[in-house]
Amino acid sequence: MADDTDFDLEGEPIEIVVDAEMSGGRLDAMLAKAHDVLSRNRIKDLILGGAVTIDGRPVAEPKYRLKAGETIVLVAPPPEDPDPQPENIPLDILFEDENLIVINKPVGMVVHPAPGSPSGTLVNALIFHCGESLKGIGGVKRPGIVHRLDKDTSGVMVAAKTEQAHKHLSEQFADHGRTGPLHRAYVAYAWGSTQSGMGTVDAPLGRDPGNRLKQAVIKQGREAITHYAVEARYGAPGWDVTRIQCQLETGRTHQIRVHMAHIGHPLVSDLLYAPGFATKVNKLPDEVAAAVQALGRQALHAAELGFEHPTTGEEMLFSAELPADLQALEDALAPYDQVTRRG
C-alpha cells in the first residue's frame, strides 16, 4: 500500500492529551486537523451528539477552548459497510486501457468511501467513469484500488479495471520494487537543511501509543525504509527549506512524513507531525510565508509512478507536475535558492 494511507479509526475510542501547542485552540478545529479520516462537519456532528468527552465529562460544544493537560476521548459509531455508488466527478487521466487507469489525484480527494467520507471519493469517480463492471474488482468497498494516497497528498495513482490486473498490480506493490520494476518517487518540502545530499531512514513504524491518530517510530513496529535525495536547498539567515525526492522501499502509513520528522526535518505545513514548527513561518519572507500558509496540508506530492503492465509486461512510467499550491510554494522559494545565491 502507499505510504500516506488514511486510518480506519471510526468505531474505536481515540484518546488525545492536549499539549502546549494545542492549548487555546478550538475542540472541533484540533480534531479536524489531527484526523485524516473524519471531515470537520462529521467531527462537529459527533461532538454535538455526545461522542466526545474531556477528562471524563461530555463536551457538546465544538468551539470549546482546549487547555494543556486535558484528555480528549472521541468514541465514534462503528463504521458502516459502504456500497460505493457512481458519481460524476472529473478525473485527470494520465493513461487508460482495458486493464487499468492512471490518474493524477488532486489534493482533498479521499481514495475510497469511509466513515466521514461516504461519497465524493476516487472510487465513486472511477465507478462512474469505468461503469458497473468495476464494482467488486478487488473487493466491494474499494474496487480497483491497489494502493492509496491520503486525502491531502496529491499525485499519480493507478487503479485496476480487471481482476487479473488487480492481482498483478497488488503483487508489485507488495514487493515494493525489491525484485520488480515498481517505482514510486515523491517530491517533498522539508524544514531545515539536511546534513547530507542523500540518505536512508531505516526505522520501524507503528501506531503511536500516545496518540492513535498518528504513526511513530517504535521498536516493535513494522519495517520501514525511505531513501531521500536533495533536489534543492532554499534559505536565508534564520530559515531553511529543502526540496527532496523520496523513494519508498516499504509502504507504511504516513511513512515519509514520520521518517522526515524523525530525522529532524518534518514536512512543511504538516499539521500532524510538525506542529512545533508552525512558528517557523514567522521567520520566512512574506511571499514564502503566504505560500506556506495557503497550503493547509503537508507539502508532499506523488510525482512519479512506474510499474509493469499486467498484460503486456511493458515497463511504464508516469509523472505528474506539481499542483498549483506546491508550484506557488516553489515559485516563492526560487529566489532564495542557495546554489544560485552562492553563484
CB 333 within 8 A of CB 187: no
| 231 vs 243: CA distance, rounded Å | 5
Q: Which residues pair with 228 in a beta bridge?
A: 199, 246
Q: Which residues pair with 65 in a beta bridge?
A: 26
Catalytic residue, chosen from 6, 36, 150, 325, is 150
Residue 150 bears catalytic tag = yes
Which residues are the active-site residues? 150
